[in-house]
Structure 1
Amino acid sequence: MNLLQHYFPDLTAQQLKLFKQLETEFRATNETINLVSRPDMENFTERHLLHSLAIAKVVNFPKGSTVLDVGTGGGLPGLPLAIMFPDVQFHLVDSIGKKIRAVQFMAAALGLDNVTAEQTRAEQVRQKFDFVISRAVARLATFHPWIARRYKPQGVPGAGLYYLKGGDLTEEIAESGLKAKVTNLSDFFSEEFYETKKVVFVAAK
């Protein structure tokens, strides 16, 4: 957890406790449901917790806002961000039932009452949100149409998609035809893992 404290010095003792508990729950769940690979599990704080929280380096979700996490898998990035922003409502969706059940179990074990989780596809979600987050589910041109109509009409400042991606995204962004702002995570984190990692922001319309 020292890594989290290093990059997020304002975390409370309760938040640090919850991050530690999340890693414990995630590790136990990963033994029965393959949420992440074994090498990644050995670097869970660096490659999953910190990576999820990277979104918080780019946007500060306002109190009372709502966030949709698409293709959440084992609850990433939604669960770590829900710990970071306890006054923000997170709705985590994935098409795989056993993963969503695992997310529901972990959220309940941690007492995260600002988290709901549902087995569904992004394009079938009917509610509207201030923000959408996701972790490299598909190419931007494929992904964005799924969530383009999921925003509340009276959006809050900074409303839109915050998409965790890696590598050279020049061609992918051009292909999508979207106006996107790319933030390099190497600007915030010195670990080698983050050299090619980015957050792509596409404003809500």
Structure 2
Amino acid sequence: MDIILKYFSDFTAQQLEQFSALKDLYQEWNEKINVISRKDIDALYEKHVLHSLSIAAVHDFEPGTQVVDLGTGGGFPGIPLAIFFPEVQFHLVDSIGKKIKVVEGVAESLGLKNVTAAHSRIEDIKNRKFDIVVSRAVAPLKDLWHWSKPLLKKSPVLGREFKHGLICLKGGDLAQEISESGVKPRRTAIHELFPEAFFQDKYVLQVGI
């Protein structure tokens, strides 16, 4: 928890309580359904929570924004972002039902009223549009963008303003992946936001529509 407070400080008492509760909740759920590697549980706040919040460091979601977390796994980045932005609506989607069970259990325990979850493939979401798609290391950028486009409301990207689009967390040498994607994302090095060894070669990519 200390590593979160090292980089973010403007939290309400409720947010602090919710962030503090994450470790015990994920430990408890992980004993039933393994969604986080056991070696990562001890580094939950750095490797999962702070990593997720790097999205909050580059994009300020306006109240009322509709966000879908594509391939949320155990709830990352969606759960930490939902705590950070209580007035933003998050829909967490994964094709593996047991992971969604964990997401629903964690969200309920935290009292997150701004989170819904669905056991679904992203391609099967119909008749619903979102402002932002977020994702963490789910698939190549080309695929993420292909899946995201039908779900996104369309708006022009004016100057540096980013309203609708995909925000994803990626790592490693991304040159070929970006080239093959056919898009030109804005790339932010997470290590510049949070200078911790874990974030070397990790990035936030933003693709506007």
Equivalent in the alignment of 2:23:
23
2:167·2:207 contact (CA, 8 Å) conserved in 1? yes
Counterpart residue type for residue 144 of structure 1: W
Q: TM-score, normalised by structure 1?
A: 0.96
Equivalent in the alignment of 1:107:
107
Equivalent in the alignment of 2:154:
153
The percentage of aligned residue pairs carrying the same residue is: 50
TM-fit CA distance, 1:13: 2.4
Counterpart residue type for residue 152 of structure 1: K
**Whole-angstrom CA distance in 2 between matches of 1:74 and 1:81:** 13
Equivalent in the alignment of 1:188:
193
Match of 2:76, SS state, is coil
Are 2:17 and 1:38 equivalent residues in the alignment?
Answer: no
Equivalent in the alignment of 2:9:
9
Match of 1:162, SS state, is strand
2:129·2:153 contact (CA, 8 Å) conserved in 1? yes
**Whole-angstrom CA distance in 2 between matches of 1:36 and 1:155:** 38
**Whole-angstrom CA distance in 2 between matches of 1:138 and 1:151:** 18
Q: 1:6 to 1:135 in 2, by over 3 A?
A: same
Gaps of 5+ in 1: none
**Whole-angstrom CA distance in 1 between matches of 2:66 and 2:137:** 20
TM-fit CA distance, 1:154: 5.1
Q: 1:65 to 1:155 in 2, by over 3 A?
A: farther
TM-fit CA distance, 1:26: 1.1
TM-fit CA distance, 1:143: 2.0
Match of 1:148, SS state, is helix
**Whole-angstrom CA distance in 2 between matches of 1:81 and 1:23:** 16
**Whole-angstrom CA distance in 2 between matches of 1:6 and 1:12:** 16
Counterpart residue type for residue 46 of structure 1: E
Counterpart residue type for residue 174 of structure 2: L
TM-fit CA distance, 1:42: 1.2
Equivalent in the alignment of 2:86:
86
Q: CA RMSD in A?
A: 1.3
Match of 2:187, SS state, is strand
1:130·1:155 contact (CA, 8 Å) conserved in 2? no
1:185·1:197 contact (CA, 8 Å) conserved in 2? yes
Q: TM-score, normalised by structure 2?
A: 0.94
1:129·1:152 contact (CA, 8 Å) conserved in 2? yes
Match of 2:151, SS state, is coil
Deviations 1:146-185 (A, max 9, x none): 1111112358952211100001111100011112111000
Q: Tell me how many residue pairs correspond in the alignment.
A: 204
TM-fit CA distance, 1:12: 2.2
**Whole-angstrom CA distance in 2 between matches of 1:31 and 1:19:** 20
Gaps of 5+ in 2: none
TM-fit CA distance, 1:189: 0.8
**Whole-angstrom CA distance in 2 between matches of 1:12 and 1:108:** 19
Counterpart residue type for residue 4 of structure 1: I
**Whole-angstrom CA distance in 2 between matches of 1:4 and 1:111:** 20
